[in-house]
Amino acid sequence: MLAISVKNLVKIYSGGVIALNGINLAVEEGSSHAILGPNGAGKTTLIRILTTQIKPTRGEAKVFGFDVVNQGNKVRELIGYVPQEMSLWSDLTGYENMLIYSKIYGIDSSKRGSIIEELLDFMDLREAANRLVKTYSGGMIRRLEIAIAMMPRPRLLILDEPTIGLDPRARRIVWERLQAYKKEHGATIFFATHYMDEADKYADMVSLIDRGKIVAEGAPSNLKKLIESDRIILKITGNAEDAKKLLLEYSSSIIISNNREITLAVKDPATILPIIIEKLYSRGFVVLEAKIVEATLDDVFIKLTGRSIGEEEKGTISEVMSVRRAIIRGG
């Protein structure tokens, strides 16, 4: 069954901005699916439509077969949502925040206590439960928001930039918990991110989005196979230009730097490297150093769009960081 199905989705904001320009998407139940792209690509707009906050201009979006426009109530019953911006009361404790949301979600009063306790343990927040949220770290805030989204036991978790502004350790903890939830409940995770490593590591499928269009889609390893951009970097003895001539048959792009360093773009570096070393050796060159640099999803994105995913990330991160800092200061 498809957790999310989107067909020819278009969103034009009232000012005329075309945020989504004919999106198609199929997210398998039980999978983890990332929508990866730079700021302004349309990720949040797509998520707002899927979570029934705004209406599409044209096209169709369904969650477990329910239409997001005409069957919004059904959709909302099935999803847990973590927005990009802060969704907590910072002058209340973690426990109090959970209690309020449990009432908003209509969780039976006899069950509230046990569900909250269980989730505090699950997200490793028990010790902080009675502290004001404004004393929390960014990672704790995100874990609390995710705990709240998990409260109604959603079959589909939709997260907008789940780890934005967090340090690598806090990011890892958040993902470890999300994956545990997915496994325990057979849940689907759909998340927007501009961190390519996050999509690479934690998504079964990735949709690359640029200017309101999906430019490529697939498992991260397959996306990287789309392009010849793994690289072999060699340091050799002898004339690099002569060595380059010997290597032309193995790569479409060879660059020489510092006279001695040769960089080759290749598809399958682990297989090609020993062949290249032997060939060079047989012609009197000695390879002093060899390095394989694997392609990233950003390389795929650059190849397809001419721009990097990371280029414009600063604004958003510093924005979210300043929100987080304001929370910690109690502002």
Ligand X SMILES: Nc1ncnc2c1ncn2[C@@H]1O[C@H](COP(=O)(O)OP(=O)(O)OP(=O)(O)O)[C@@H](O)[C@H]1O
Nearer of residues 43 and 177 to ligand X, judged by Cβ: 43
Nearer of residues 192 and 276 to ligand X, judged by Cβ: 192
Which residue in the shown chain puts its C-beta closest to ligand X?
44
Q: Which two tokens stand for residue 270?
A: 């682990």
Least distance CB 108 / ligand X (angstroms): 35
Q: What angle do CA 264, 265, 267 make, to 5 degrees?
A: 125
Nearer of residues 41 and 236 to ligand X, judged by Cβ: 41
Interface contacts to ligand X, rule CB under 6 A: 13, 15, 17, 19, 37, 39-45, 316
Least distance CB 87 / ligand X (angstroms): 15
Q: Rounded to an integer, what distance in angstroms lies between the CA atom of residue 65 and that of residue 39?
A: 29
C-alpha torsion sign, points 223, 217, 179, 323: positive
Least distance CB 315 / ligand X (angstroms): 7
Least distance CB 54 / ligand X (angstroms): 8
Sheet holding 18-28, edge to edge: 18-28, 2-12, 58-63, 66-67
Nearer of residues 13 and 281 to ligand X, judged by Cβ: 13
Q: Which two tokens stand for residue 250?
A: 């193995």
Least distance CB 272 / ligand X (angstroms): 37
Nearer of residues 17 and 104 to ligand X, judged by Cβ: 17
Nearer of residues 37 and 269 to ligand X, judged by Cβ: 37
Sheet holding 261-266, edge to edge: 253-257, 261-266, 230-236, 287-293
Q: Rounded to an integer, what distance in angstroms lies between the CA atom of residue 284 and that of residue 282?
A: 6
**Which among 222, 220, 207, 216 has a CA at the least distance from the CA of 50?**
207
Q: Please list the alpha-helical segments (H only) found in the chain.
A: 43-50, 72-78, 94-104, 109-122, 138-150, 168-185, 196-202, 220-225, 240-247, 269-282, 297-305, 313-329
Q: What is the bridge-based pairing of β-strands 287-293 and 230-236? A: antiparallel
Least distance CB 185 / ligand X (angstroms): 27
